[in-house]
Structure 1
C-alpha cells in the first residue's frame, strides 16, 4: 500500500518527484485493525512474500476477499513495491525491477512521469525530504491486473526541500497525506502506476500556505 500541500503550482511541479512513490511499508511491523471499524494496514516483511497466506490476506484492508491466485500474486508484487519504498527499508533497484522494461510511474497531480532508472528518483526524492516515509494502506481493491488503494503517506519533514523560491528548511513537521494509488500489472510486473497525492494538504502540514494574495496580484 492524509494529504500534502504546497505554496504555488510552480513549486508543485518542481517537487513532482516527491509524490511518486510516496509509498512505503514498514517491514518490521504487523498489520493491526483500527477502531471504529476502519482497518488501517502497515505492510510487514511477511506480507511481502511471493505467496500470501490466508492469515496475511485476512489482515489486509481488502474490499473483496475472494481473490484468484493470479490476483493474489499481483497483490504480492504491489506490497513488495511498497516495502521497497519504505524509508527504513529503501531498495531502489528492487523497486525499479518490479516494473516492466517500458513501465511508467505517473505523478498525476504534478503532471510528471518516470521511466527506467528514473523510477528510482521517485523513492530517493521522497526519502531525502521524509527519511522515515511510510505508507499506511487504508483500503485495497484487487480486480484482475488492476490494484487500487486508498492510503496515507506519512513522515517527518527532516530534509531540505529545493523550490524555485529557494530551499525550504526542514522543521520536523509530521505529515499525514491522503493519497490514491492505481497499479496496472502485466505478466507479474508493473506496467503503469498512477499516483494521486494531496499536495496542498501536505504542504500545509509542512508549514507552507498557498499564496492566494500573490496570485491575485499577478492576475
Structure 2
C-alpha cells in the first residue's frame, strides 16, 4: 500500500475543523459538506457522499475506496466536524452512534454510552474553546476507519484536578498526538476507541507529573 505525503488536512473553517475532532488555516471541504448535506442538527440522516475532489484533499493511505467505505468515512468526518469548538453539535454526534454504541477514552479507561455521549464534546470545549483536530493519516478498511491526528486548541478553560481544586488555563497552546479507531455497522458507529497522548496534553497545559514525590514514596 503506497502512503501519501504527511500533509495536514483541516476539517473546519478558519481555525480548522478538528483540524480536520479535528485544523489549521485551510478548511477541508470534505467534512464540511458531509455535515451540511443533508444532515441537520440532531439528525441521524446519512451525510452526503464524498466526491472524488473531496477525497483527493484527504490524507488517505489508500484512495481505492468502495462506495460503502466512502459512506463510512463521511460519517466519521461529520462527527469530527460537529465536535469543532466553533460549532459543536452534540445531538448529531450522539445520533451517529447505535443505541448501544460506546465511546472509549482508552488511556484513562473511561467509557461513554447513551446520554453520557453528549458530555464529551462540551467537556473538551470547556478546556479548549477553540478545540480542533488535525487529521494526518486516514485508513479505511470496510467498517473500520483508523486515523492518526492531533488534538489542538488553546487552554483557556478549567481542568478539575484529581487532588481537588482546578487548574485554570492561561492561553497555553495544546497539541496532543492521538489515534482514533472507529467501528461502524449499517451506517452507525458501534465503537469509537480514542487514544489521546495525555502526557503531552497535560504538559502543554502546564500540568506535570510529580516524579520526585513518587520516587520518595518508594
Does 1:26 find its partner at 2:12? Answer: yes
TM-score, structure 2 normalization: 0.81
- Aligned residue for 2:125, secondary structure, equals helix
Kindly report structure 1 stretches of 4+ aligned residues shifted beyond 6 Å: none
- Aligned residue for 1:194, secondary structure, equals strand
5+ residue gaps, structure 1, are 1-23, 32-39
- Aligned residue for 1:87, secondary structure, equals coil
Cα offset, 1:188, TM superposition: 0.2
Partner residue of 1:127?
125
Distance 1:192 1:107 in 2: 11
Distance 2:28 2:180 in 1: 15
Greater RCO structure (CA 8 Å; 6+ sep)? 1
Cα offset, 1:160, TM superposition: 1.0
5+ residue gaps, structure 2, are 1-9, 18-24, 38-47
Distance 2:74 2:95 in 1: 14
TM-score, structure 1 normalization: 0.81
Query: What is the total number of aligned residue pairs between the two structures?
Result: 188
- Aligned residue for 2:82, secondary structure, equals helix
Partner residue of 2:69?
71
What is the aligned-residue RMSD (CA, Å)? 2.0
* Structure with a larger share of its residues in helix: 1
* Alignment check: 8 A CA contact 2:69 2:140 kept: yes
| 1:12-91 equivalences in 2 (<5 Å) | 25-27=11-13, 43-44=28-29, 45-48=32-35, 49=37, 50-91=48-89
